[in-house]
Structure 1
Amino acid sequence: MSRSMVVRYALIVAIIVVLLFPVYWMALTAVLPTRELLSPSPPLLPDLGSISFDSFQRVFELRPVGRWMANSATVTAGTVVCSVVFATMAGYSLSRLASKVGLIVGYSLFAVRLIPTTLLVIPLFMMFSEVELNNTLRSLVIANTVVIVPFAAWLMKSFFDSIPVELEEAAMVDGCSRLRSFLTIVLPLARPGIGAVAIFSGILAWGDFTFARTLIQGDAGTTVTVGLVSFVGEYTADWGALMAAGLLSIAPMVVLFILLEPLLISGLTSGAVK
């Protein structure tokens, strides 16, 4: 192996270690006693005899973590479905039905994504209050979809732009309508974009804190991001339980990526012409 390859692999390993170290430290905090972690020289490599998984059991005894994750899963699933559907339709329109008016609408749509989330909370809160949607998980689905779709639509547009329009024209010459050619020809080829939008929207919806903290009052609709804050008190913090709950909250997004990765890979490796 050449020296350049060794340097390249060493650099890759170093980047992976840096990126994964926070997750490793979370896991270490969850399984080690607090007294060891708060010592002047906390162990980087733990003693196997001091490892305990009591924190993972304690989080379910102290807080309704299962209900929090169920609420987050409901919001995330609804947001992913809505974002994929709306972004796909909007991206196809921006790509295939391009015009000056369409470009203005498209750039106006993208400009919405540049507005900070904190500026959208109050108008959305007032709108949802008028239609009695506050304190419901549906309000979180709508709010997250509003924020995600503008960028996701442009992401889908780039995928549709890479698909030759001649494929649709050939299908329509053979008798397909535009809708059928879209469903049978274009949509299967846009699987990488659909997978990317699903992952993007799922991560953002699952990790949302601003909307979940503002639009939901009470414990029934609490999501996992808001619930994690309750492990930090005014004077103390249960670090073991907090990190254990944090690791549990990461797991669904890892599963989502594993499930959607074949969609991305199959779409990237499949060709329009065999």
Structure 2
Amino acid sequence: MFHGLSAFPLTPTTETGIDEQAFRALVTRLATAGVDSIGALGSTGGYAYLSREQRARVAALAVEAADGVPVMVGIGALRTSQVLALSEDAQKAGASAVLLAPMTYQPLTEDEVFGLYEDVTRELSVPLCVYDNPATTHVHFTDELHARIAALPNVAAVKIPPVPDDPAGAGARVDALRALLPDTVTLGVSGDWTAATGLNAGCDAWYSVVGGLFPATALALTRAARSGEAARATALSSQLEPLWRLFRRYGSLRVVATAAELLGLVDHPGLPRPLRGLTPPARRELAAALAAVGLGPA
């Protein structure tokens, strides 16, 4: 399941709970579009802001609405005991895999990060994807740490941060890391504006924010890259530059949450406080960008 497009939907959240109807509808859109997998409770899904009970419910809803499409569930938390509990909940819900980012308040040493994965993989019965997201977690993986973790049982994939913009640099980055990993561990790119470059450089999967809202658009790019049509994949990504520009400026979560509101797929506000969607001027920028790339409201 760690190949192709893994689409990460929002978890529409109010101050009183989860908008279950809206979440179901978002996941159903992805399953109907034919995405390769669905990533529930990733950073786009706001996992860090939800209680254990809410996360267990979202995991169950995702598996049900996915209608057979593999679902990967985020299990990151500050304490190992919490991660283990969330892992148990995800597996009980029927998740096909789990996604683990090392959350931290006190800075973690490499041995502490390794120990987290060692403790969790020991208890797993489903594959695990390592979530390397320094912009959010402030944990920086060395290649050597990736290699140590990848050798653990049940580790099946690594989700890496954005690759370098230039194809040669991206290729060198992917090749260097892949050389340290077992053949059984896949590499997937995040940072949507570098997805085409990462896929063209040999990444196996795209863990996509935009794919969680616009699956057909993300699938076209993914299929082009995976079939060897590098120029087409690059062109499709370039067409989305007005959107990528806003991702880089405001953060992909705020942009995609506001886009979902503009499309009428979620109510306002859809993010848990203190997070907020885009300001009125930025919303107008986003509306213009969506129209420019053909993704605006009908």
Alignment TM-score, normalising by the size of structure 1: 0.19
Alignment TM-score, normalising by the size of structure 2: 0.18
Which structure: greater helix fraction? 1
Q: Which has the larger radius of gyration?
A: 1
